[in-house]
């Protein structure tokens, strides 16, 4: 029992490292070859995890082999657009200039109901509002609405918004983020003065953020949590 426990921990760590090395894509954004490798890794890890009669390296070595295969295919995809097209496929236009392409739907085995479901997932309720709908190689559907149906942006009114930048976490769960303080050119004493305006110390804060406009958001940790 103890051996199985430790084998599970070792294999979990190996799989976690391999998946991190494969990148940060979400499951729904995986290319076909990435999804196939992920499924195979799960199967390879589960066998030696439960069967102590199988040497643990019989699971680790194939997993590392799949990692090498993944890195190799990714490199080929970067170097050759033709290879990328063969391995990953090509995007398909399901709606072109407001008209549904029945040919593309049949080719991709996509029903009208599935298309409507994907559009709703993109916050589009009416098919008539869509100019283009593109089925990406990852299986995601990209929707481009008709110009008169799109949300307005400041540029439409010749307005130039102020630069906002990105917000920095200065305190997370009572821990001061020293590197982020340095990134905005501030120190702990400055942080302490700012947080004291909210009647607390930095170490008592659940979260403290600082955005590009110089605004601070601060929330105190609940007692006993």
In total, the chain counts a number of residues equal to 225
pLDDT at 195: 93
pLDDT at 177: 93
pLDDT at 186: 92
Task: Tell me the C-alpha distance between 59 and 150, whole Å.
Answer: 51
pLDDT at 194: 93
pLDDT at 29: 63
Task: Tell me the C-alpha distance between 127 and 129, whole Å.
Answer: 5
User: Domain 168-220 sits in which CATH superfamily?
Assistant: bsu07140 like domains (3.30.240.20)
Give the chain's end-to-end CA distance (angstroms, integer): 35
Q: Which structure tokens are listed for 66?
A: 């799949």
pLDDT at 17: 78
177 close to 137: Cβ distance less than 8 angstroms? no
Helical spans, DSSP H, in 100-153: 102-107, 112-121
pLDDT at 179: 93
* Equal fold, 92-149 vs 168-220: yes
For residue 40, the tally of other CB atoms under 10 A from its CB is 15
User: What pTM was computed for the model?
Assistant: 0.62
Average pLDDT of each block of 10 consecutive residues along the chain (225 residues)?
73 76 61 76 78 78 84 83 79 92 90 90 89 88 88 77 81 92 92 92 93 88 74
Choose the CATH number for 92-149 among 3.30.240.20, 2.60.130.10, 3.40.50.300, 3.40.50.720: 3.30.240.20
pLDDT digits (tens, 9 = 90+) for 100-124: 999 999 988 888 889 999 999 998 8
pLDDT at 101: 92
pLDDT at 206: 92
Buried b (16+ CB within 10 A) or exposed e, 214-225: eeeebebeeeee
- The residue extents of the domains of the chain are 2-86, 92-149, 168-220
């Amino acid at each position: 029992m103890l051996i199985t426990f430790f084998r599970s921990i070792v294999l979990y760590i190996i799989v976690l490292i391999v998946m991190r090395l494969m990148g940060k894509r979400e499951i729904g954004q995986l290319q076909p070859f990435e999804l196939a490798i992920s499924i195979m890794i799960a199967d390879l890890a589960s066998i030696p995890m439960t069967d102590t009669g199988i040497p643990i390296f019989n699971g680790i070595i194939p997993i590392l082999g799949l990692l090498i295969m993944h890195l190799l295919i990714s490199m080929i995809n970067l170097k050759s657009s033709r290879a990328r097209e063969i391995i990953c496929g090509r995007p398909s236009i399901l709606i072109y200039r407001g008209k549904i392409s029945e040919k593309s739907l049949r080719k991709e085995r996509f029903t009208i109901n599935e298309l409507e479901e994907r559009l709703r997932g993109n916050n589009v309720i009416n098919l008539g509002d869509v100019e283009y709908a593109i089925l990406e190689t990852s299986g995601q559907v990209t929707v481009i609405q008709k110009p008169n149906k799109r949300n307005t942006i400041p540029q439409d009114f010749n307005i130039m918004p102020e630069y906002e930048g990105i917000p920095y976490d200065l305190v997370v769960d009572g821990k001061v983020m020293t590197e982020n303080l340095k990134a905005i050119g501030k120190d702990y004493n400055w942080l302490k003065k700012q947080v004291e305006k909210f009647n607390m110390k930095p170490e008592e804060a659940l979260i403290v953020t600082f955005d590009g406009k110089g605004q601070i958001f601060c929330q105190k940790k609940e007692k006993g949590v």
